[in-house]
Amino acid sequence: MKTRKTLRVAALLLALALVAAACGDDEGSTTTAASGDDPTTTAGAMTDQVEVFSWWTGGGEAAGLEEMIKIFATTDADIEFINSAVAGGAGTNARAVLASRLQANDPPDSWQGHAGQELIGTYVAADQIEPLNFLYDQEGWLDVMPETLIPLISKDGNIYSVPVNIHRSNVLWANPTVLADAGIAIPTSLADFFTALEALKAGGMDAPLAMGEQWTSMHLFESIMLASMGPADWTGLWDGSVAWDSAAVTKGLEDFATALSYTNSDSSALSWQDAGQLVLDGTSAFNIMGDWQEGFFRELEKAPQTDYVWAATPGTAGNFQFLSDSFVLAKNAPHRDAAIAWLTVAGSNEGQDAFNPVKGSIPARNDADRALYGEYLLSAMDDWASDTVVGSLAHGVVANDSWKSEIDTAIGLFLLDGDVAAFQTALVAAQAASG
């Protein structure tokens, strides 16, 4: 017990250091246990607890999690919910803290991961999580979870996580007033996008495309590569059927360089919410970000169609670049039964319909109550059902952590030197190193 406590403190200190270094005043909080005014922690008769780890601390995300915690408080009133969220978009800080806790054999009971290679190639490969087939059988989840998702959370017949949502990564958010004033329609192709960005720049807008810290450039990268290469070639990059030294990749990298040339010079100091705010303020016209951006806009009480509009990233209509937040059960979870109770809520219709309308995602389950969802999310549900589905790189679907981290390093260098040939060489090497 004493050891666990010491390790927890060490993890907290690491989290504080990472957050201070990476976030500035972004999003505020660091690791937080649920506070006294949280309805889930006030009941006096609690006998058990569950520690749940995520990076949902602000900007619509914490609010979504709170809604699911409220459901948990009704189904499992005797279990205290310890919210160990660590701030920082896309889990950049949280996942470093998680890795050090797992290494120290001090796992949270359950944590947020991404369906796909992040889960299979990282946590399953390291034998850090338990299979959940028994829960799928008990809850009948195979009948309600999308068939496309199950292989991405399974290995050798074992299912390893409970997906709570589907997010779309290839979304263009725009300020409708800025576009109307400039006489610009929402661009639908990359060529039109670059023409629109150039016109806005010529009209005096310094940075028409808002961007934040480094992971958001990987996010922009995956959108532009999909637009430039198309879905078959994008997917082929990850199964080895399309070469990283191909001309199609060179063209994609050149398009990425063009997009970057319209972004703000202070991007590394900004969170994804800050970048979204630049669009709301009309300082920038566009931002390419996952649909959690809408959760943030709605939390600010901004109105769809008036304060912001959206479309698929130009050149990607008909494609749904997806990711899925998925909760796991730690191997040797300190509170295994309580963790199973939490996962049961995370996979339930009630839990997902409470969480997703606020989080800005659509439920992983296919039996949502559409009446609870706003205009954007209804369009995302329809697109998910009919579009070509491809995976996200920045959010864990197509590459495991070690490959992704090599790509991240290459992107970091490219942001500094803009050398397309060197970038492509580094990406070829990253694939070779990934095995």
Q: What whole-number distance in Å separates Cα of residue 378 and Cα of residue 350? A: 18
Which residue stretch of 30-38, 54-62, 257-265, 275-283 sits at the interface with ligand GAL (rule: CB under 6 A)?
54-62
C-alpha triplet 328, 139, 137: angle, nearest 5°: 85
| Residue 123 or 272 with smaller CB distance to ligand GAL | 272
**Least Å distance between CB 295 and ligand GAL?**
9
- Which stretch, 37-45, 89-97, 364-372, 423-431, contacts ligand GAL (CB under 6 A)? 89-97
CB closer to ligand GAL, 80 vs 408? 408
Cα–Cα distance for residue pair 228/259, rounded to 1 Å? 12
Q: Name, in order, each residue with C-beta under 8 angstroms of 191's C-beta and a sequence gap of 6 or more.
A: none
Binding positions for ligand GAL, 321-360, rule CB under 6 A: 323, 325
Does residue 90 belong to the site contacting ligand GAL (CB under 6 A)?
yes
Determine the Cα–Cα distance for residues 172 and 223; give it in Å rounded to an integer. 10
Cα 153–Cα 158–Cα 162 angle in degrees, nearest 5: 45
Cα 21 off chain centre by: 21
311 neighbors 172 (Cβ within 8 angstroms): yes
Q: Applying CB under 6 A, does 167 fall inside the site for ligand GAL?
A: yes
CB of residue 114 to ligand GAL, shortest distance in Å: 6
CA 184 to chain centre: 30
Count of Cβ atoms closer than 10 Å to residue 350 Cβ: 13
116 binds ligand GAL (CB under 6 A): no
Site for ligand GAL in 228-287 (CB under 6 A): 272
Residue 27 touches ligand GAL, criterion: CB under 6 A: no
Shortest Cβ distance from residue 91 to ligand GAL (Å)?
A: 6
189 residue type, one letter: S
# of chain residues touching ligand GAL (CB under 6 A): 14
Q: How many CA atoms lie within 13 A of 424 on its CB side?
A: 18
The minimum distance between CB 292 and ligand GAL, in angstroms, equals 4
- Residue 292 touches ligand GAL, criterion: CB under 6 A: yes
Residue 404 within binding range of ligand GAL, rule CB under 6 A: no
Question: Which positions touch ligand GAL (CB under 6 A)?
Answer: 55-56, 61, 89-91, 114, 167, 272, 290, 292, 323, 325, 395
